[in-house]
Structure 1
Amino acid sequence: MRRWMMLALGTAAQTVACTFLYGLPYTSEALRRDNGLSLGQVGLLVACPTAGLLLTLIAWGALADRFGERTVITSGLAMTAVLLSLAATVNGLVPLGVLLALAGAASASVSAASGRLVIGWFSARERGLAMGIRQTSTPLGMGVAALVVPTLAAHDGVGGTVLFCAALCGVVAVLVGSLATDPPRTTRSAGQEPAANPYRHSALWRIHASSALLCVPQFATNAFAMVFLIDVRGWSAVHAGQLLVLSQVLGAVSRVLAGRWSDRVGSRVRPMRQLSVCIALVMGATALGALRPSPLTDLAMVLACGITASTNGLAFTATAELAGSAWSGRAMGVQNTGQNLAASLTPPLLGGLIASAGYARGFMLAGALAVAACFVIPAVRIPAAPDPTAAPAPDPTAAPDLTAAPAPTAPPAPERDSRTD
């Protein structure tokens, strides 16, 4: 039962962090009205939290490896709450931007450590499902932001919205600090060799690279789905938004189902490869729908928004299992950094291509990158970790590492048949 409590706390922590990060764009009009900012200045402010997050993900991961998940998540969310409370009291581009960037940097603690908390409490036979559930925090946070922030911004301005996000972070920080328990860890004896660096071999780098490639179709659909439906299919903004709520639900469900699938087949990378092919096919259908619009175009776009999110949890689970417990915080920090960079670069770069060459070519490029990801994903055998909920050995100094698969000391074995990865 404890492991499900840890999953709930990790998911809640990531959800409130996403509410802050993804809710800020909904305050754009209030920022212009209350602070007298131009649209370009508003865009700069909205980007500040993501910039802060990108710069600190790996550092927070290293702290999680050293001091534990509960300490990192609690302190990071508490700092986020304090910084957002201060941001609610200031005006002007520079002071507000600095505080938002610092708040984003503090919130990165959750991205680096909450996945490590979940991984550490679940055995290999449930870990994919658990991480799939944890990954629903992104659409949950976006949903909370979409439902609450516009109304708050209209009535209470930017200050009221930022205080709401601060309150959410503060409440969850208290819950994590009071209820969370770090997974069992290995007790190292004096003179014992440190865990081998998993980045000496290519498998972990290939997981990061393929995951970043798969972020392109995901954020291509997230960024351009609404304008696509309006421009190509003639939907109104209201009705297009209502249709895309369904796609967010489908995206959350696809993450959970993909995780459960990986548990059943005993592999993270094989479902990733197969899903990358499916993503490429659906993006191809969406591109075709842009050339020949029909009601099937709407269905293709909804499916694309849903299935492109399906591999996120698999990539994070594979990252933690390949890295081992001593390196998983840093490895997931690198994983998050790569994904966020791809997510940040996709809208402006792909938007330029769509503006000059049309939606079809833009979506075809995103599908081609999904095909490339299929070849980048490594074929590896990841050893299963013991169940972390099992009773510890009588001698605690000899207790095995129960948090994840052992850190690799040699290159992962190549895939020999369909049952090895």
Structure 2
Amino acid sequence: MTPQPSAPAVRGRSPSTARRWAMLAASTLAQAAAAIMVHGPAFLIPSLHEREGLDLAQAGLVAAAPTVGVMLALVAWGAAADRWGERRALTTGLAATTVLGAVAASTHGTWVLAGSLVLAGAAAASCNVASGRVVVGWFPPERRGLAMGIRQMAQPVGVGVAAVTIAVVAQRAGVSSALWVPTAACALALLLVLVVVVDPPRPDRRGGGKAANPYRHDRFLARVHGVSVLLVVPQFVVWTFALVWLVQDRSWAPAAAGAVVALAQLAGAFGRLAVGHLSDLVASRMQPLRWVAVAAAVVMAGLGLAAGLGWAVAVVLMVVATVLTVADNGLAFTSVAERAGPHWAGRALGVQNTAQFLAASAVPPVAGLAITHLGYAAAFALAAVFPVLAAPLVPVHSERELS
């Protein structure tokens, strides 16, 4: 790795260790609340179908609405965080998400509900970029991977909370009541952010002009984006089809299959933390990212082989694949923020997440076609091709010294 130039002078005092961890907790809660808002409507599908009379296509449209909003707004929120700071982006976004969640919970009509959720998802996108910037800005390089690993646990935790609350509330009290769950979570996160979070220091630019565009300097960021898009494929193949594979192909009971998938998701959350800590220990984000890509390729190929031969170890490999295929997220996210710098990190993280969301939206239908025509084993094995392509693309040799 080549040394990085010395950092320019920064404004502001460094907070205490306790305050740093409090800001990490607030950022993680904000991201978890956003995840409940964005992914929670998927758990409304049974109630929308059975109680509200929507067909599955209409219910799926409502469930996908927040994700559409996120994709449309990520880069804009990144630019806002670059210009006005992380605290303002977080508080504005969470306040808007809370209001729009309340509107969605109070409204009637499929199109009005879907429109409200699109806007709520767009507002929640603020957390994807701003909460990560808080962590990168306040934690030193030797602790940043671990801290970002903790923050990256927020998404699976948020999805887990949504899974155990929203469907139950919707079944017992209706869709409108269930939408108060993510709304309340965002309101709570807003209060904590207001109390705890302050903007990280930035290089003093009073001496002159605009910050240089990091995309024009080299291809490091573009390569990381490309690697992340490729690694989304096996991640969402496993996320989307693990449960139905266990039920249809392995003849498991749905309750048992759901329990295994939930435990695999929990293990994946801790896997993000472990890989982040590893990146701190080896003082590199890219080398562990390449290790993850290679390991994901091996495990997905093994899963395809074991599933095709009907071996019992296939279930174990599915759990391992669930852990490995999400482990790259924190590494890539942290490296993008570090390389882009404090005046470009928001936009770069917006591009990173937008590319991943677009790829993730394409995986389920394409993988579904592959499963329909070729079977689960072949689909799992084909997914191994993407981390094989990703591994040599990881820009290990152009990574700078962490700072």
Report the TM-score, using the length of structure 2 for normalisation.
0.93
Matched, 1:382 2:394: no
Quick one: distance in 1 between partners of 2:133 and 2:49? 39
Equivalent residue letter for 1:342: A
* Match of residue 123 from structure 2: 106
Equivalent residue letter for 1:195: A
Matched, 1:249 2:259: no
* Match of residue 388 from structure 1: none
Indicate if the aligned counterparts of 1:30 and 1:158 stay in contact, CA closer than 8 A: yes
* Match of residue 294 from structure 2: 277
Quick one: distance in 2 between partners of 1:230 and 1:330? 41
Q: Residues 152-167 of structure 1 correspond to what in structure 2 (within 5 A)?
A: 152-167=169-184
Quick one: distance in 2 between partners of 1:254 and 1:262? 12
2:25 pairs, out of 8, 22, 28, with 8
Equivalent residue letter for 1:96: L
Quick one: distance in 2 between partners of 1:370 and 1:164? 37
Quick one: distance in 1 between partners of 2:348 and 2:237? 25
Once the two structures are overlaid, the 10-residue window that deviates more, 127-136 or 171-180, is 171-180
Quick one: distance in 2 between partners of 1:171 and 1:225? 33
Quick one: distance in 2 between partners of 1:348 and 1:119? 35
Q: Residues 209-288 of structure 1 correspond to what in structure 2 (within 5 A)?
A: 209-288=226-305
Indicate if the aligned counterparts of 1:216 and 1:346 stay in contact, CA closer than 8 A: yes
Equivalent residue letter for 2:330: G
4+ long deviations beyond 4 Å: none
Quick one: distance in 1 between partners of 2:343 and 2:244? 44
Quick one: distance in 2 between partners of 1:33 and 1:80? 27
Quick one: distance in 2 between partners of 1:81 and 1:34? 25
Equivalent residue letter for 1:60: W
Quick one: distance in 1 between partners of 2:287 and 2:375? 33
1:193 pairs, out of 209, 213, 218, with 209
* Match of residue 317 from structure 2: 300
Shift of 1:32: 2.3
* Match of residue 69 from structure 1: 86
2:63 pairs, out of 40, 46, 57, with 46
Matched, 1:172 2:189: yes
Kindly provide the CA deviation profile for residues 362-405 of structure 1, in whole angstroms up to 9, marking residues without a partner as x: 112211101101011112232332xxxxxxxxxxxxxxxxxxxx
Shift of 1:97: 1.0
Indicate if the aligned counterparts of 1:131 and 1:317 stay in contact, CA closer than 8 A: yes
Instruction: State the aligned residue count.
Output: 384
Which residues of structure 1 form unaligned runs of 5+?
386-421
Indicate if the aligned counterparts of 2:302 and 2:381 stay in contact, CA closer than 8 A: no
Indicate if the aligned counterparts of 2:37 and 2:120 stay in contact, CA closer than 8 A: no
Equivalent residue letter for 1:311: D
SS of the counterpart of 1:53? Answer: helix
Shift of 1:166: 0.8
SS of the counterpart of 2:249? Answer: helix
Quick one: distance in 1 between partners of 2:337 and 2:231? 18
Q: CA RMSD in A?
A: 1.1
Q: Residues 323-362 of structure 1 correspond to what in structure 2 (within 5 A)?
A: 323-362=340-379
SS of the counterpart of 1:238? Answer: helix
Indicate if the aligned counterparts of 2:78 and 2:130 stay in contact, CA closer than 8 A: yes
SS of the counterpart of 2:174? Answer: helix
Report the TM-score, using the length of structure 1 for normalisation.
0.89
Which residues of structure 2 form unaligned runs of 5+?
1-17
SS of the counterpart of 2:343? Answer: coil
Indicate if the aligned counterparts of 1:35 and 1:91 stay in contact, CA closer than 8 A: no
Quick one: distance in 1 between partners of 2:52 and 2:283? 53
